[in-house]
Structure 1
Amino acid sequence: MARAIAGLYVITDARRPRRVALESAVESALRGGARVVQYRDKSDDARRRHQDAKTLATLCRARGATFIVNDDVELAVAVAADGVHLGRDDDDLAAARAALGPGALIGVSCYNEIERARRAAAAGADYLAFGSVYPSATKPEAVHAPLTLFGEARHFTDRPLVAIGGINADNIASVITAGADAAAVVDAVFAAPDVEQATAELVACGFGPAPD
């Protein structure tokens, strides 16, 4: 099973425009070097969501990437995802852990709140996400999370830290320099004309060339 939360972390979002079918887009992102895929779809079509998540879980396993489901603990269990990502209004961490088991990865959105991050780490979160680090077209109303948060969080946790919000090839290096272990993107990959190329460029700009 894939375990790492590091590198380029791509998020599918059913509300955002995408040039190709979901499976093809994610497969291209994985070829380009994405290491984590999060499935985000808040629609009411449970059957389609289950099929989508099952397909992406299979793709990620084949590529050695980590597969995370946004919000939906029950769906994560059903498709044997590597874990789940929780926001402010989702299931609490203890309930998610009870449902998913001790081996699952549970990520928590901490926005720009260092105390929320501290509490989540103490409660057993496996990774912490801060954002929006830059203005985001996906969530234009999101609070601003300064890059200094990553250094602050490192004082109390060694868990992976994820940056999200407005990240692109021009600014991803600064996010990694600030201390983020992973950079999460939506449109920078999935709205691009060539998903694989856009992914590879982000990986190269943020994490350096792939080893030979």
Structure 2
Amino acid sequence: MSKFLYLISPEKITNHKIFLKKLELVFTSNIIKFFQLRVKNQKRKQIILLGKKIIKLTKKYKVNFIINDDPYIAKILNADGCHLGQQDMSINFAKKILKKNSIIGVTCHNSKILASKAFANKASYVAFGAFYPTKTKKVKYRAKLSLIKWAKKNIKKPIVAIGGINQKNYEKILNAGANYIACSASIWKSNIKDPLTAVNMFKK
């Protein structure tokens, strides 16, 4: 089975020990290609401390470790790369900070123009969304499945779909041509009994 899940952390992680146990269990599913650390309102020191523990697990289970927004933290941790939003620094500037051949993903919302720009600047992947309503963040942009089909033809880079994707709707996204589906709330905040069970429900 191919790895098609792009797992994003909860925005708040209060107990590192409990979270790391859950994360390792989730990694045993063997369908997670990327794990992005995206915590909010945390000091950089705390993020680095947690990141040092996470990277041991990502290496063990061969998961790409991505840091949200901050290439400097990615460099300190020797992570596999970082994810940039449209309000973050440019791809070219991030490349100067990160180690050679680092993964750099870019949020493109629902825009063909942003995706084309990311492709021209040699982003590692493009991320589109939100495809569905989501509890994780306020939705400003809604993307359609036709955008994935367009990107498949015109953007020769892996496509990550994000926003409200869950165990009931993910197959539509993959069938449209997305390489990876990004999930957070459907794993960490779902009513399903535990994160591993939630992840296993995505298996094709």
Verify same fold: TM over 0.5.
yes
* Aligned twin of 1:143: 141
Tell me the distance in 1 between the aligned counterparts of 2:53 and 2:84: 21
1:17: Cα distance to partner? 9.5
* Aligned twin of 1:21: 18
* Aligned twin of 1:43: 41
Please tell me the residue identity of whatever aligns with 2:195: V
1:66: Cα distance to partner? 0.8
Alignment of 1:147-162 (within 5 A): 147-162=145-160
CA displacement, residues 80-133 of structure 1 (integer Å, 9 cap, x when unaligned): 110000001111110101111331000000001111000000101000000001
Tell me the distance in 2 between the aligned counterparts of 1:155 and 1:139: 29
Tell me the matched-pair count. Answer: 199
Which moved further from structure 2: 139-148 or 60-69? 139-148
Seen in structure 2, the aligned counterparts of structure 1 residues 151 and 6 have a Cα distance that, compared at 3 Å, is: farther
RMSD: 1.9
CA displacement, residues 23-74 of structure 1 (integer Å, 9 cap, x when unaligned): 1222122112322100002324122100111111111001011110000110
Please tell me the residue identity of whatever aligns with 1:28: L
- Are 1:7 and 2:11 an aligned pair? no
Which moved further from structure 2: 163-172 or 34-43? 34-43
Alignment of 1:94-105 (within 5 A): 94-105=92-103
* Aligned twin of 2:200: 200
Alignment of 1:82-97 (within 5 A): 82-97=80-95
Sequence identity percentage: 30
Please tell me the residue identity of whatever aligns with 1:198: A
Please tell me the residue identity of whatever aligns with 1:194: D
Partner of 1:32, secondary structure, is coil
